[in-house]
Structure 1
């Protein structure tokens, strides 16, 4: 198993240990947010808030946003922001993958990079930057929406 695969399983299988490894205090809110992101890849902040409220009861929208920001800043989850679509969160971090987004229903699906290591694309002129990531979003209609449209 790759290093990335081990890291993903570690975060998702033992969120308490992962929070501690990242130097973060273990709280019910952080654990619930991690479980929400794990249970529904590409979940919106509103979706996280609903899942967390269902699990632990009352939590403010601001607490959800703050918790998501801390987890993103510490590399435990990833924030994706497809143009014209709600910001989404996922637990798949540390690898080189991209996303497919349905123009009709906003479904988001992971797709592995066909080119290789990150960054999988490099510009002609890097302008002195040390590149570490290239973000690619593919747009189209998912199979369900294609059938409805035809």
Structure 2
């Protein structure tokens, strides 16, 4: 749920609403982390910490990790785990997109699904990269869990 470029107060209000919708308290720490990730998609926890410390000088790295984990669990952030790289985070959640990672510099680009439904294996664009490997992670509910939800 990336939030469009609007005033800082509007962004804070939208993130506050999103936090409330996920039954999370609105704190300055959570708002700062969400804003940092939204402003710099595919950020590492270290990058988020550096950005947040621009507003909250005394926030600890551990606090940022806890907030990132909580917001990921709540579905407000997406945690991206690629081989040989620290986890990265983005606010683009709830859609069917993948990522292209440069094996040389580590740059990550969003790749929209060309097919338009999950799962897709054909990227709409490769951002000039020669794709060598595609990884798909299927997530769903087993039969027992489906029965428990009824």
Partner Cα separation in structure 2 for residue 117 and residue 110 of structure 1 = 16
Q: Deviation per CA, 1:1-49, whole angstroms, max 9, x where unpaired? A: xxxxxx5448x93111111111101111100000000000000000001
| Consecutive unaligned residues in structure 2, runs of 5 or more | 5-9, 122-135, 144-150
The corresponding residue for 2:22 is 22
Question: Does residue 1:104 correspond to 2:125, yes or no?
Answer: no
Normalising by structure 1, report the TM-score.
Answer: 0.72
Partner Cα separation in structure 2 for residue 92 and residue 58 of structure 1 = 28
Normalising by structure 2, report the TM-score.
Answer: 0.72
| Consecutive unaligned residues in structure 1, runs of 5 or more | 1-6, 131-150
Q: Deviation per CA, 1:52-101, whole angstroms, max 9, x where unpaired? A: 11122111111000000110000001000011112100000000001111
Partner Cα separation in structure 1 for residue 44 and residue 74 of structure 2 = 19
The corresponding residue for 2:116 is 116
Instruction: Classify the secondary structure of the residue corresponding to 2:32.
Output: helix
Deviation at 1:115, TM superposition (A): 2.3
Instruction: Classify the secondary structure of the residue corresponding to 2:36.
Output: helix
- 1:1-150 residue pairs with structure 2 within 5 A? 7-9=1-3, 13=11, 14-120=14-120, 129=142
Instruction: Classify the secondary structure of the residue corresponding to 2:111.
Output: strand
Partner Cα separation in structure 1 for residue 119 and residue 74 of structure 2 = 20
The corresponding residue for 1:135 is none
Task: Give the RMSD, CA atoms, in angstroms.
Answer: 2.2
Q: Deviation per CA, 1:81-140, whole angstroms, max 9, x where unpaired? A: 01111210000000000111111111100010122212336x9xxxx847xxxxxxxxxx
Partner Cα separation in structure 2 for residue 98 and residue 129 of structure 1 = 23
